[in-house]
Amino acid sequence: MILFGGMLASIFASLAFGTVGPIGAGIPSRMSWEDFFNSIVAEGPRSNILMNLRLPRILLACAVGAALSISGAVMQCLFRNPLAEPYILGVSSGAAVGVSLGLIWGVTSLLSTPILAFSGALITVAAVYGIAQVRGRIKTDTLLLAGVAIASFLSAVSFYMLYAAGKDRDLIISWIMGSFALTTIDEVLITTFVLAMGGLVVFLFARDMNVMLMGEETAKQLGVDADTVKIIVLVTASILAAIAVAFVGIVGFVGLIIPHIVRMTLGPDNRILIPASAFAGGTFLIWMDVLARTVAGGQEIPIGIITAFCGAPFFIYLLRSRKTGYAYAS
């Protein structure tokens, strides 16, 4: 509940940051708090910036952060590995290839883009899973390495496709590194809808996923149909990762670090971890986006740069603390 409140507060507070707003560079002059509150309720050019330009991107950042965090929490749980998440496993890159195809073919409607992203993500997760499966068992090391290899391969593919199609460089960069600029309210609605559905499905299987952390054989002996649950939940997690990529591009590391931070503070029970990760992830990405649009004055920095800047050191910390940190099964 506290996390949910924090997320709502962040949505509102982050609205105040930016060139138009009481906190930020202030062009031409800094807005007063009074003007700010007036602009939220009243019509006007400033209100247009706040409510039609900034609010959608804040909401989308929140939804994307939540989707990636749930996806990461699920993958870490299913593969019983702290490093599993949609970016590392190549699922995000797979979705990006799907969307890139749409950009090249000129098919970029509100429906086709997510569907292409889902297709790319699901094909990728099936491929990575297939590579890592040896006689019915998943080899986790192979899974991660195959994921990393496929992720960079597919990133290169989508980069090349856009480059060869003569797309302009800014678009390619914002796509590869993610950006919340030019978000429309329709994109927010679609993303939120998929997030809500996916989040619900995953939450319904939270207890089963707890038991599956004991290993799939033990899970079956405790009454969980592990094979079925795994397919349902993994597909859902991939769809969540794909919707996060569909309108924004690839945002790395959110799905990795948020579930870990939540797990360290609230414990590994998925019934708590999944909703808490969603709220924490939403909040985190709202503030990362605030940094992205304010740090360099009026210029946008791709969000992926900011999350990688925070995420990569944390990733290294995790690698180093595997022995001494909280217990993992490998």
Judged by beta carbon, residue 79 or residue 180, the one nearer other proteins is: 79
Judged by beta carbon, residue 218 or residue 321, the one nearer other proteins is: 218
Per-position x/- string for 308-327, each x denoting binding to other proteins as judged by CB under 8 A, each - no binding: ------------------xx
Strand, helix or coil for residue 138: strand
Judged by beta carbon, residue 113 or residue 270, the one nearer other proteins is: 270
> Which tokens hold the place of 237?
């997690």
- Using the structure block, give the residue that is written with the tokens 């889902």: 118
Q: Minimum distance between the CB of residue 196 and other proteins, rounded to whole angstroms?
A: 17
d(CA 73, CA 237): 9
d(CA 320, CA 304): 23
Question: Which residues, in sequence order, are CB contacts of 209 under 8 Å at separation 6+?
Answer: 74, 77, 78, 229, 233, 270
DSSP 8-state symbol, 23: B
Question: What's the Cα-to-Cα distance from 237 to each of 249, 250, 259, 262, rounded to whole Å?
Answer: 17, 16, 13, 18
Judged by beta carbon, residue 48 or residue 228, the one nearer other proteins is: 228
Q: Are 63 and 282 in contact (CB under 8 A)?
A: yes
Binding region for other proteins (CB under 8 A) out of 33-41, 126-134, 223-231, 308-316? 223-231
Judged by beta carbon, residue 63 or residue 209, the one nearer other proteins is: 209
Per-position x/- string for 166-205, each x denoting binding to other proteins as judged by CB under 8 A, each - no binding: --------------------------------------xx
The closest alpha carbon to 254, from 80, 37, 68, belongs to 68
Per-position x/- string for 76-105, each x denoting binding to other proteins as judged by CB under 8 A, each - no binding: -x--xx------------------------
Among positions 28, 45, 130, 223, the unique one binding other proteins when judged by CB under 8 A: 223
Please spell the DSSP secondary structure of 73-127, one letter per residue: HHHHHHTT-TT--TTTTTHHHHHHHHHHHHHHHT---TTHHHHHHHHHHHHHHHH
**Count of CA atoms in the C-beta half-sphere (13 A) of 112:** 11
Q: Are 66 and 77 in contact (CB under 8 A)?
A: no
Judged by beta carbon, residue 187 or residue 208, the one nearer other proteins is: 208
Judged by beta carbon, residue 268 or residue 311, the one nearer other proteins is: 268
Per-position x/- string for 246-275, each x denoting binding to other proteins as judged by CB under 8 A, each - no binding: -----------------x---xxx------
Among positions 51, 157, 161, 214, the unique one binding other proteins when judged by CB under 8 A: 214
Binding region for other proteins (CB under 8 A) out of 111-119, 156-164, 216-224, 274-282? 216-224
Judged by beta carbon, residue 185 or residue 204, the one nearer other proteins is: 204
Q: Are 240 and 292 in contact (CB under 8 A)?
A: no
Does residue number 133 form part of the binding site for other proteins (CB under 8 A)?
no
d(CA 291, CA 39): 22
Q: Minimum distance between the CB of residue 22 and other proteins, rounded to whole angstroms?
A: 43
Among positions 12, 33, 37, 328, the unique one binding other proteins when judged by CB under 8 A: 328
The contact set with other proteins (CB under 8 A) reads: 77, 80-81, 135, 204-205, 207-208, 210-211, 213-215, 217-218, 220-225, 263, 267-269, 326-329
